[in-house]
């Protein structure tokens, strides 16, 4: 583990998907668009205050995602020729999740998806080295927002409406997206590399990647939880009409 002031000191390497990967990427984007349409009932109307806050959060995305973090390392991680030496996704940017998690509570699924997509674009270039991060963080942000607005009746399911629990729930899904990106991203290996080699690379790095993302979710979830408790009316808009 080493302190990381900025990701900009590294190499921007937004690797594109493979040919098959583009089909997967577009399919995931289609799923996101479909979900946003289905979840339009959870989307609050924005006033001037929401627009102003959204612009502030949008500006904060590059600051929180590209500055102040730690680089995690593991003896299990396996590098690939032609890929930056650090394992993709091994940077824990401490404040990175705060804008899009708060956006999920303040702006609804559409606002959270836009903030998440912007964060994913930056992380895809300087950390995960994959364009799959764009659609991944957009989808996770929108889903987090919807969970904040559900009217769960049981105590166990009501935990999902708590920002910290909702943020931590995203961790295993990030790991799943990581494996998908490893299988369908044109990284250092040739596009014709067997799926077993790509899967071995993903699994060898999955632990450190999950730990890094989990740290970001913990910090972002705690901040969102505090904000939700302090300003409950602002954090959750009524959605059942």
pLDDT at 17 over 50: yes
pLDDT at 108 over 60: yes
Q: In CATH, what class is 49-68+87-235?
A: mainly alpha
d(CA 155, CA 99): 28
Q: Let me know: does 209 contact 89? Beta carbons within 8 Å.
A: yes
pLDDT at 15 over 70: yes
d(CA 147, CA 20): 32
Matching residue, tokens 């399919």: 27
For residue 10, report the phi and psi dihedrals to the nearest 5 degrees. -90, -170
pLDDT of residue 83: 61
pLDDT at 238 over 60: no
User: For the residues 91-110, what does the mean pLDDT come to?
Assistant: 95
pLDDT, the chain, mean: 87
Q: Which of 8-17, 68-77, 177-186 has the lowest mean pLDDT?
A: 68-77
pLDDT at 128 over 50: yes
pLDDT of residue 239: 40
Q: Per-domain residue ranges for the chain?
A: 49-68+87-235
Give me the DSSP letters along 182-215.
HHHB--SS-TTS-HHHHHHHHHHHHHHHHHHHHH
For 27-72, what is each residue's pLDDT tens digit?
999 999 999 999 999 998 899 999 999 999 999 999 999 999 999 9
pLDDT at 195 over 80: no
pLDDT of residue 78: 59
d(CA 37, CA 43): 10
Q: Let me know: does 144 contact 216? Beta carbons within 8 Å.
A: no
Q: Let me know: does 89 contact 205? Beta carbons within 8 Å.
A: yes
pLDDT of residue 102: 96
Q: Which of 74-83, 91-100, 118-127 has the lowest mean pLDDT?
A: 74-83
Q: Which has more pLDDT, 235 or 63? A: 63
Q: How far is residue 10 from each of residues 5, 66, 98, measured CA to CA in Å?
A: 11, 11, 23
User: For the residues 160-168, what does the mean pLDDT come to?
Assistant: 91
User: For the residues 176-184, what does the mean pLDDT come to?
Assistant: 91
Q: How confident is the model at residue 241 (pLDDT cuts 50, 70, 90)?
A: very low
Q: Burial, 140: exposed, middle or buried (Cβ in 10 Å; 0-12, 13-18, 19+)?
A: buried
């Amino acid at each position: 583990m080493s302190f990381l002031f900025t990701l900009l000191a590294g190499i921007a390497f937004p690797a594109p998907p493979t040919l098959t990967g583009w089909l997967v990427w577009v399919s995931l984007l289609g799923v996101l668009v479909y979900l946003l349409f289905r979840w339009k009932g959870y989307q609050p109307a924005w006033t001037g205050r929401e627009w102003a806050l959204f612009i502030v959060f949008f500006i904060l995305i590059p600051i929180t995602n590209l500055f102040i973090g730690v680089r995690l390392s593991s003896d299990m991680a396996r590098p690939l020729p032609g890929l930056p030496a650090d394992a993709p996704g091994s940077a824990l940017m401490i404040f990175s999740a705060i804008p899009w998690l708060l956006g999920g509570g303040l702006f609804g699924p559409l606002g959270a998806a836009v903030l998440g997509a912007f964060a994913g674009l930056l992380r895809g270039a300087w950390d995960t080295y994959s364009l799959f991060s764009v659609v991944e963080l957009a989808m996770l942000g929108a889903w987090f927002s919807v969970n904040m607005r559900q009217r769960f009746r049981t105590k166990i399911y009501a935990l999902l409406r708590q920002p910290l629990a909702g943020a931590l729930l995203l961790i295993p899904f990030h790991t799943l997206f990581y494996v998908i990106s490893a299988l369908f991203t044109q990284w250092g290996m040739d596009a014709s590399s067997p799926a077993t080699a790509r899967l071995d690379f993903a699994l060898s790095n999955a632990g450190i990647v999950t730990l890094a993302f989990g740290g970001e979710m913990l910090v972002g979830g705690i901040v969102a939880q505090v904000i939700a408790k302090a300003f409950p009316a602002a954090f959750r808009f009524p959605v059942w009409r």
